[in-house]
Amino acid sequence: MLAVTDLHTYYGESHVLQGVSLDAARGAVTAVLGRNGVGKTTLCRSLVGLTPARAGRIALNGVDITRLPPYRIHRLGVSLVPQGRRIFPSLTVRENLAIAARGDLDRVFSVFPRLAERAGHRGNELSGGEQQMLAIARALVARPLLLVLDEPTEGLAPVLVAEVAAVIRRLREEGTSILLVEQNVAFAVKLADWAHVMSRGRIVHSTDPAALWNNEEVKTQLLGVPPAGAGARPRRDL
């Protein structure tokens, strides 16, 4: 469904995406994993047209969207849930969702019953988990074909991480394709059908998630996961 080929994106002179190539299959959860600063958010922004790529190609179902403005990419069915949620703190849940649509709020509230209960509460009255649900709900109002989630578990307590996982599973069952951008490797490998590993502006490894989980070298060197059995022992190599 999504085919990214040799994508290059800059902030001014700073060359951040240095030839990203990846695919995401229809109906699948595709993970993009990588440490802080490797360019994950920049990739998300290029996909939705917010920071357009300077070279390379992004195709959605065979249609070249590389140079389209954000509103047209959104209309073609790609929605981003940005890192840090970016909901409107002084607006209610209902108002935050109404800004996104025209769409059908009943469906969104059926996926997120807790938001239905909180429909009249302001964004700043929600818990971190509820804010993340609202950010996802807002992206879903448009009924996207491809949902791009930029670090949805960042800063969430484990019980809320489990809720985000349940939402992702449900959306996948309903046929939404998902690009799951994460630093939380354990979370992503449980949900993903395929995983890409990013390092310094490139995809350096593409793999079955189970194989990734068993690849100690990639996990420790590229993803910062402590070596198996390391537990809480102090690291003598630092």
Ligand X SMILES: Nc1ncnc2c1ncn2[C@@H]1O[C@H](COP(=O)(O)OP(=O)(O)O)[C@@H](O)[C@H]1O
**11 binds ligand X per the rule CB under 6 A:** yes
Give the number of other Cβ atoms within 10 Å of residue 217's Cβ.
9
Write out the two tokens for 118. Answer: 């909180």
- Least distance (Å) between residue 197 CB and ligand X: 12
**14 binds ligand X per the rule CB under 6 A:** yes
Write out the two tokens for 170. Answer: 């449900």
Helical spans, DSSP H, in the chain: 40-47, 70-75, 93-100, 105-111, 113-117, 128-140, 158-173, 185-191, 209-213, 216-223
HSE toward the beta carbon, residue 193, CA cutoff 13 A: 15
For ligand X, the binding residue among 7, 30, 41, 134 (CB under 6 A) is 41
Q: Which does 206 bind (CB under 5 to 8 A by kind): ligand X, Mg ion, none?
A: none
**183 binds Mg ion per the rule CB under 5 A:** no
Write out the two tokens for 176. Answer: 């939404």
- Piece in contact with Mg ion (CB under 5 A), picked from 15-23, 39-47, 66-74, 228-236: 39-47
**9 binds ligand X per the rule CB under 6 A:** no
- Least distance (Å) between residue 42 CB and ligand X: 3
**36 binds ligand X per the rule CB under 6 A:** yes
Q: What angle do CA 154, 161, 207 make, to 5 degrees?
A: 80
- Least distance (Å) between residue 193 CB and ligand X: 22
For ligand X, the binding residue among 22, 40, 172, 180 (CB under 6 A) is 40
Q: Which does 38 bind (CB under 5 to 8 A by kind): Mg ion, ligand X, none?
A: ligand X
Write out the two tokens for 228. Answer: 């198996």
Q: Are 89 and 64 in contact (CB under 8 A)?
A: no
Q: Are 160 and 5 in contact (CB under 8 A)?
A: no
**38 binds ligand X per the rule CB under 6 A:** yes
Indicate the residue among 83 and 215 with the shorter CB distance to Mg ion. 83
Tell me, what amino acid is at 203? I
For ligand X, the binding residue among 25, 26, 37, 86 (CB under 6 A) is 37
**51 binds Mg ion per the rule CB under 5 A:** no
Indicate the residue among 83 and 220 with the shorter CB distance to Mg ion. 83
**152 binds ligand X per the rule CB under 6 A:** no
Indicate the residue among 45 and 118 with the shorter CB distance to ligand X. 45
**13 binds ligand X per the rule CB under 6 A:** no
Strand-by-strand arrangement of the 63-64 sheet: 14-24, 2-11, 55-60, 63-64
Residues near ligand X, by CB under 6 A: 11, 14, 16, 34, 36-42
